[in-house]
Amino acid sequence: MPGAPSATGLGSPGSRALLVGTGHHLPGSRLPDVPAVSATVRELGRTLVDDCGLRPENLLPPLLDPRDPIELGNAVVAAAKQAEDVLLIYYVGHGLVSPGNELYLATAATDDLAEGLAFKALPYQAVRDALSNCRARSIIVVLDCCFAGRARGSLGTAATDAFALASLSGSYVLASASRDEQALAMPGEPYTAFTGELLRFLREGDPGGPPGLTIEGAYRHLRRVLPLRRLPAPERHLSGRAGDLVLAVNPVAAPAPTPPASQAPPERPDEQICPYPGLDPFTADDARFFFGRARTTAELLTRLANWSQEGGPVALVGLSGAGKSSLLRAGLLPAVKRGELPLPGAGTWAQFVLAPGEHPLDSLAGQLAGPTGCSKAELIAELRTDPARSADLVRRALRRQSGGQDVPGGRLLLVVDQFEEVFTACQDEDERRCFITAVCSAAASDEAPAAAPALVLLGIRADFYASCLAYPELVAVLKHRHFPVEPMTPEQLREAIERPAEVAGLGLETGLADTLLRDLRADREFAGGTLPLLAYALWLTWGRREGRTLTLAGYGATGGIWDAITQQAELTYAGLT
């Protein structure tokens, strides 16, 4: 969308953007080159100009493969001196952790994972220092690198932080991964995984979103969709109202209704959060909007407490679209963190969520790599050689996370969502068997069953029940520790429709809930697997709300529960042609 209006936050004359990418290193470096970095930085620059309204002259020359930390630091300082309105600093490359557990940004001179970082890579603290005297009203830092979550806190000195908190804008740090996770560039993909999805969001927009795509909206989108692709969930740290900064116009936003002349203008839609996830499952971030499954969650917690003494995984089985993923992610996991699982120390347990994907051992090793201090390649090799050693790996991770000590009652809560992918996506029978053995062994022990290092839950689609019976370990799970997810009742569905809106401060027009339930055929068995369709229709209806009210007219404009997806696909296609 060339010529995007300057109403976006980056469109003002005083805005500046500095894009930095380190994808190549000196010969002999222990850091692998990342070929996608260069293309990622260049495409990001084009998108900022074409879709985000950044003036071409305000896009500073991209800094690719800075030769050393001095060149990188000087570029940040120069950008900070020029910006008066919005400053965007965007880094793509390797993030490294020093012996003092501080985040460093790699340069072309960086040749080791830890040795020599003080003079071959730029400490993130130096970025903070460089930005401390910046006059820009909003400072946005995006780090697409491993361990980016270590970039904590707002930017600058105590004085500038206080100013940011009191000002209209402030600072925003968007990190592509947590403090112990690795950011990814998938083989064969033109862009890094994090920035590639951000580019798609800025170009294609959000059908259920407001007219303006904000940096906070981008974060919520990335945090929802990336984990579903078995990629790290981003983190963010902000001060003031920097999250309200509009990055781009939403090309697929529903037209805003025109209120009567006598009616007060509605609050800015950018300040409202949609309480419905669309076709995606609810996550732990959405727990306050997750309703209709309280009784099921409580029953599952009780069963888990009883079954935990036996050892072995627990199978959560239900129809496709029955809400298994949402129950696990937004129901069970937050409840455990709140201390509602009646087992000693359960509220402090580490929680991992993964989906098997094409290479389930990669997925499992990726979760354990950071906590164990081992590389993913080492863990994959170890699991292939002896998958039953997974219990030892989990113990190693727990011990390392607790400073080298064994914590009484300490365990890992591992959720394997969409377990059926071991049959649909994984084509390697040996890897499939190794993965099944590994997750089952992690929940067992040679000692007393209570000593099992992990409590493992498998979310399984009901139509793959028979596939599981071909594996003896899973037969025992389905026979002794099987929890069925029943379809929601009409009363529970009404709660799932009405209560999220209430929590978000929204209203439903009289008759809307009844219409949704009727269209869903909630009194029939056919409604058992249609929760994503309901959530998607509500998501689109939210995008067509009038002020703070979801209306019958807005719902009708979506095409209704059964036609919303088809209609939206046609609108999106029309916008691309």
Q: Closest by alpha carbon to 225, among 199, 253, 245?
A: 199
pLDDT of residue 302: 96
Is residue 281 a part of any domain in this protein?
A: no
pLDDT of residue 6: 43
- Judgement on whether residues 430 and 349 belong to the same structural domain of the protein: yes
Q: Whole domain around residue 81: which residue ranges?
A: 9-249
pLDDT of residue 520: 82
Picking from 195, 224, 249, the residue at the C-terminal end of a domain is 249
- Judgement on whether residues 437 and 561 belong to the same structural domain of the protein: no
- Judgement on whether residues 390 and 425 belong to the same structural domain of the protein: yes
Task: Say how many domains are in the chain.
Answer: 3
Q: Return the percent helix, strand and coil in the chain, to nearest 5.
A: 45, 15, 40
Is residue 257 a part of any domain in this protein?
A: no
Indicate the pTM of the whole model. 0.72
- Judgement on whether residues 340 and 445 belong to the same structural domain of the protein: yes
pLDDT of residue 408: 75
- Judgement on whether residues 393 and 471 belong to the same structural domain of the protein: yes
Burial of 219 (0-12, 13-18, 19+ CB in 10 A): buried
- Judgement on whether residues 433 and 565 belong to the same structural domain of the protein: no
- Judgement on whether residues 394 and 452 belong to the same structural domain of the protein: yes
φ, ψ of residue 533 to 5 degrees: the values are -65, -40
Q: Which residues contact 310 (CB under 8 A, 6 or more apart)?
A: 449, 480, 481
In the numeric block, which tokens belong to residue 515? Answer: 């219409």
Provide the residue count of the chain.
577
| Biggest distance spanned by C-alpha atoms of the chain | 74
What three-state secondary structure class fits 456?
strand
Picking from 432, 454, 484, the residue at the C-terminal end of a domain is 484
Please state the separation of Cα 335 from the chain's center in Å. Answer: 19
Is residue 283 a part of any domain in this protein?
A: no
- Judgement on whether residues 451 and 512 belong to the same structural domain of the protein: no
Instruction: Decide: 319 and 486 in contact? Cβ < 8 Å.
Output: no
Picking from 484, 518, 548, the residue at the C-terminal end of a domain is 484
- Judgement on whether residues 103 and 225 belong to the same structural domain of the protein: yes
Q: How many helices (H) and strands (E) does the chain have?
A: 22, 18
Q: Closest by alpha carbon to 372, among 349, 393, 348?
A: 393
Is residue 269 a part of any domain in this protein?
A: no
Q: Closest by alpha carbon to 541, among 532, 551, 531, 533?
A: 551
d(CA 238, CA 216): 10
What three-state secondary structure class fits 249?
strand
d(CA 95, CA 74): 19
- Judgement on whether residues 169 and 230 belong to the same structural domain of the protein: yes
Instruction: Decide: 265 and 256 in contact? Cβ < 8 Å.
Output: no
Kindly report the CATH number assigned to the domain that includes residue 94.
3.40.50.1460
Is residue 125 a part of any domain in this protein?
A: yes
Kindly report the CATH number assigned to the domain that includes residue 516.
1.10.8
Please state the separation of Cα 41 from the chain's center in Å. Answer: 22
In a structure prediction context, what are the per-residue pLDDT tens digits for the chain, which is 577 residues long? Answer: 444 444 688 999 999 999 999 999 999 999 999 999 999 999 999 999 999 999 999 999 999 999 999 999 999 999 999 999 999 999 999 999 988 889 999 999 999 988 899 999 999 999 999 998 898 999 999 999 999 999 865 444 333 343 333 233 589 999 999 888 888 888 889 999 999 999 999 999 988 778 899 999 999 899 888 887 878 889 998 887 788 899 999 998 876 555 554 454 444 444 468 899 888 899 888 899 999 999 999 999 999 999 987 889 999 999 998 999 999 999 999 999 999 999 988 999 999 999 998 999 999 998 888 788 788 889 999 999 999 999 999 999 888 877 777 777 789 999 999 999 999 999 999 999 999 999 999 998 666 545 689 999 999 999 999 999 999 999 999 999 999 999 899 999 999 999 999 999 999 999 999 999 988 874 444 455 788 889 999 998 998 899 999 999 999 988 888 776 666 555 554 544 4
- Stated as kind and residue range, the H or E segment containing 236 is strand 235-238
